[in-house]
Structure 1
Amino acid sequence: MRRRIRFLSGLALAAAASLSPAAAADKSGVPVDLELVLAVDISYSMDAEEQEMQREGYRAAIVSRPVLEAIAQGMIGRIAVAYVEWAGAEEQRVVVPWTLIDGAESAAAFAEKLAAAPLRRAYRTSISGALVHSAKLFETSGFSGARKVVDISGDGPNNQGEPVELVRDEVLDRGITVNGLPLMLKRPSFAMMDVGDLDAYYRDCVIGGPGAFMVPVRSIAQFPDAVRTKLLMEIAGLAPDHPSIGPGGLASVPVAAERVRSDCTSGEQLWRERFGN
């Protein structure tokens, strides 16, 4: 209960009053079909090649014709996107602030801002910290979205900060959907605090909410298609086997898939086993 109260004090108190800043923003913000936070892992387990792959994948996807067509076909025809990089519990940074995307020109401007930002890396992995930070961004976005989504991209389990499952559930209680892009590009390593089935971990401990899904990435070559697929599904509400995604999709996994449940504290346990704290 103590952990829950501490988290609520930083995120959800505004929801308790009808005249809260978040409620005011929803009423007066610019209407969009979707408010989307792209939250990208920059922990030291991500090497330079993987970091550049992430950046290029998002830059290419946001300006791609299928994504722009999906935006145009929405009820309003525009979305709002913010790009966040994260690592440890106190390490989150907005790289590209909330940006209205309603066509090729605004998409290109977003991609240019992303390209101009220097690459960096930081210590530890706190998915829960990334979720708290991302959820707060909706309170001051200046937009009023029909849907609110946080998209978590990462290559390891939570090993610092609040328990990820607890934080995820509180984010879902605020009407925010969490999708995932688990990066499974290397053989699991105890030295790097990896878990063997990161896709199962994301499925059970990270994603959730109406229509939640994840797209596992198992090779660098697959990443551009995976990012584009994910954005299409988020913007247009497409099913994994929709023709716009391509034959067979990319093994997108819905939250309701049958499963043997993952241990959501496995990352913290690995850290304690190696470092004793």
Structure 2
Amino acid sequence: MRWWVSIGAAVAVVTAAGMVAGLAAPNRTAPIADRSDGAKEVDVELILAVDVSYSMDVDELAVQREGYAEALRSPDFLKTLKTGPNGRIAVTYFEWAAAGDQKIILAWQLIDGPESADAVAAEIMKAPLRRASRTSISGAIAFAVPLFDQNPYHGLRRVIDISGDGPNNNGEPVTLARDAAVGKGIVINGLPIMVKEPSYSTMDIENLDYYYEDCVIGGPGAFVVTIKDRAKFKEAIHTKLVMEVAGLPPPARIVPAADKEQTPRVSCLAGEKIWQDRWGR
């Protein structure tokens, strides 16, 4: 099942629910390590993990950056921020490509209002755009997990937000990395980018949204927001960020592959197979 929701709908649900983020916070699959070490309490520790593989063109990379920056500065986001019991979140932003290629653009920072949100958005926008080879969603997840224990904040929820335009084709199988993260009480949400027709030359697959639903996301209330129209790029990022901060399950909850008995609709090794067929290694 795929899920789409408009920004207006997301904000309306948040507004109607009031303190819903606080109600959703205890929904974990495993206990998070005790952080009674003076760590500052936040509603969510949010990792934004952004694909910069060569299949992403420069315009897409620029719009993706702008989308996150604008979402963080938006009145909807700032209003949603205050629906949680603490009224603040911690966020870090990194770019990824191959299994050993991750670059932190924004170290962990607190967002508790317009000024801090603006500072975070400005930090994200000032870094030079870059592109790199291969696509390792598993590498991005594996890189993200220890970041939660390397920051001075203690979140009621821990969320990895993965965006990308292709399947895993490098590193360990994505399902292994996903299941390891979910086992630590982490939620993984997805933003599959499907604005171009699938192309053999760019390692694309059809139904990338199914792939993300069945192979990438996981944890209680995990969801996918799909981008199929370049003009809706920023809107989709905005919608997903608002929902993540609110801690709301999607209207029609997607059950991650880890909770299913049926075979995934798209092979979770699709990217690896394409690479093997094409390059023989």
Normalising to structure 1: TM-score of the pair?
Answer: 0.85
Which of 65, 90, 107 is the aligned partner of 1:97?
107
Counterpart Cα distance in 2 of 1:179 and 1:239: 11
Q: Deviations over 1:239-267 (max 9, x none)?
A: 545xxxxxxxxxx8623599862210010
- Asked whether the 8 Å contact 1:25–1:140 carries over to 2, the reply is no
Partner of 2:255 in structure 1?
255
Give the corresponding residue for 1:275: 279
**Which of 194, 204, 227 lines up with 1:194 in the alignment?**
204
Tell whether the 8 Å contact from 1:25 to 1:142 is kept in structure 2 after alignment.
no
Deviates more, 1:260-269 or 1:81-90: 260-269
CA distance in structure 1 between the partners assigned to 2:50 and 2:68 by the alignment: 10
- For 1:63 and 1:238, locate their aligned partners in 2 and report how far apart those are by CA, in whole Å: 20
Instruction: Determine which of 225, 231, 237 is the counterpart of 2:241.
Output: 231
Residue 114 of structure 1 aligns with which residue?
A: 124
Q: Is the CA contact (8 Å cut-off) linking 1:153 and 1:180 kept in structure 2? A: yes
Identify which of structures 1 and 2 has the higher relative contact order when contacts are C-alpha pairs closer than 8 Å and 6+ apart.
2
Alpha-carbon shift at residue 28 of structure 1 (Å)? 2.9
Q: Percent identity?
A: 51
Q: Distance in 2 between matches of 1:125 and 1:253?
A: 27
Distance in 2 of aligned mates of 1:23 and 1:208: 19
Structure 2 distance, partners of 1:115, 1:255, is 34
Gaps of 5+ in 2: 1-31
38, 46, 50: which one pairs with 2:56? 46
Q: Distance in 2 between matches of 1:90 and 1:273?
A: 23
Q: Distance in 1 between matches of 2:36 and 2:209?
A: 33
Determine the structure 1 residue equivalent to 2:89.
79
C-alpha distance in structure 2 between counterparts of 1:203 and 1:118, whole Å: 31
With over 3 angstroms needed to count, the CA separation of the structure-2 counterparts of 1:72 and 1:127, relative to structure 1, is same
Figure out how many residues of one structure are paired with residues of the other and give that number: 247
Given the two structures, how large is their TM-score scaled by the length of structure 2? 0.84
* RMSD, aligned α-carbons: 1.9
Specify every segment of 5 or more residues in structure 1 that has no aligned partner in the other structure, as ranges.
1-21, 242-251
- Matches of 2:170 and 2:71, distance apart in 1: 31
Tell whether the 8 Å contact from 2:174 to 2:215 is kept in structure 1 after alignment.
Answer: yes
